[in-house]
């Protein structure tokens, strides 16, 4: 009986910790990352970008749709050479933000 209680208590705490880890997304619910609204005109840079981004296939922080006009909604990005709202640096490890490219329904999960 004592072993069963210990097991159930351990299982309970594991679920609580897993929920806490999964709830900690890099992007806020309203689509901001460190004060940057994640929509608009984006410039890709080699070094010192505002955000370090990694492209993934699963479990993204943000779903991104590349558009050619009016990137007004969260997750809609238009890549530009000048006049950017923010800059991104693509990395393969230690990203600030993980994104997945989509054709529809961009935004926060």
pLDDT at 10 over 90: no
pLDDT digits (tens, 9 = 90+) for 13-65: 555 554 444 456 789 999 999 999 999 999 999 999 999 999 999 999 999 99
Asked if the model's pLDDT at residue 4 lies above 80, the reply is no
Closest by CA position to 106, among listed 45, 60, 69: 60
In terms of Cα–Cα distance, which of 80, 91, 5, 106 is closest to 49? 91
Q: What is the pLDDT of residue 41?
A: 98
Any domain includes 40: yes
Listed in sequence order, the residues at least 6 apart from 94 whose beta carbon sits closer than 8 Å to its beta carbon are: 52
80: three-class secondary structure by DSSP:
coil
- Distance, in Å, from the CA atom of 75 to the CA atom of 33, rounded to the nearest integer, reads 12
pLDDT above 90 as % of the chain: 75
In a domain, 48, yes or no: yes
Asked if 84 contacts 38 with a C-beta cutoff of 8 angstroms, the reply is no
**What count of other Cβ atoms lies within 10 Å of the Cβ of residue 54?**
16
Domain span at residue 82 reads 26-108
Asked whether residue 5 is assigned to any structural domain, the reply reads: no
Residue 6 located in a structural domain:
no
Is 7 a member of any domain?
A: no
Total domain count, the chain: 1
């Amino acid at each position: 009986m004592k072993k069963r209680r210990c097991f159930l208590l351990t299982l309970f705490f594991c679920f609580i910790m897993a929920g806490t880890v999964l709830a900690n997304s890099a992007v806020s619910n309203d689509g901001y990352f460190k004060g940057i609204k994640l929509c608009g005109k984006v410039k890709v840079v080699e070094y010192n970008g505002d955000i370090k981004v990694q492209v993934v296939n699963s479990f993204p922080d943000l779903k991104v749709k590349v558009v050619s006009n009016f990137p007004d909604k969260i997750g809609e990005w238009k890549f530009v050479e000048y006049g950017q709202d923010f800059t991104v640096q693509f990395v393969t490890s230690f990203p600030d933000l993980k994104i997945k490219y989509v054709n529809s329904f961009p935004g926060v999960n």
